[in-house]
Amino acid sequence: MKREENTKADELSKRVQNSSDMSSSVYFEELLALSIEKVEILCDNSPENWKTPFIANLKHGTLPGDKNKARYLKHKATHFFLKDDQLYRRTFSASTLKCVDLDETDYYLLEVHKGICRDQLAKNYLAYKVIWQGYYWPIIHTDAIVLVKKYKQCQIFSNVPKQSLDIPALVFFPIPFAIWGIDIMGPFPRAKGDLRYVLIAIDYMMKWA
């Protein structure tokens, strides 16, 4: 664009700088309506979580459209039941478990781990202790592992594997007395004949010394 064609841009620049030297070449347009169509955005604030499909199935028999998901839900729903619109899970090894929303799980884990119970349990025992207290959610064991990893004391006193990372070497002993292990022990207090050391030989196959 040529400089002589920048008249409108110059006039706008002067207006921004509160300049009074303006010509009538600056035009204004008043918009009486929206320049674009208004788009409505619908927000679904319904509290849908892992319990929602089970509650819908137990209340109304609702199943997902996918056949595999419908078969899975129908099978899993047999372990749950509703009481006063609250979902519970049946178990064989514990009492009836109250199903917990995922945004409330940290509270239950912390209460058992370092709150009222103050057990400071390891990850697996922590998950089972919460279940014994009567609560359940699908990823309880994973959440317990994540929680325990956050605490310094749990890491200090955790069980550290002491096995060597190297692959053990296999030693084959085909016949007796084919391979011997020999070692020397001492020095011991002087014995008769000025003896101070003991020579030990062990057969690898029969462990005969």
pLDDT at 201: 92
pLDDT at 45: 44
Three-state secondary-structure class, residue 12: helix
pLDDT values of the chain reduced to their tens digit, one per residue, 209 residues: 566 667 777 777 766 555 455 455 555 677 777 766 665 554 444 445 888 889 888 888 888 888 898 898 888 888 899 988 899 998 877 678 989 888 888 888 888 877 655 555 566 678 888 888 888 999 888 888 888 777 766 666 666 666 666 776 666 667 787 888 899 988 888 888 888 999 999 988 788 88
Nearest Cα residue to 154 out of 126, 131, 173, 177: 126
- Centre a 10 Å sphere on the Cβ of residue 196 and count the other Cβ atoms it contains: 11
Count of residues for the chain?
Answer: 209
CA–CA gap between residue 209 and residue 207 (Å, rounded): 6
pLDDT at 33: 76
Helical axes 105-113 vs 140-148, angle rounded to 10°: 50
Output the CA torsion 7→11→14→19 (10° steps): 130
pLDDT at 127: 83
Is the overall model pTM greater than 0.95, yes or no?
Answer: no
Pairing label, strands 86-89, 80-83: antiparallel
Q: What is the CA radius of gyration of the chain?
A: 39
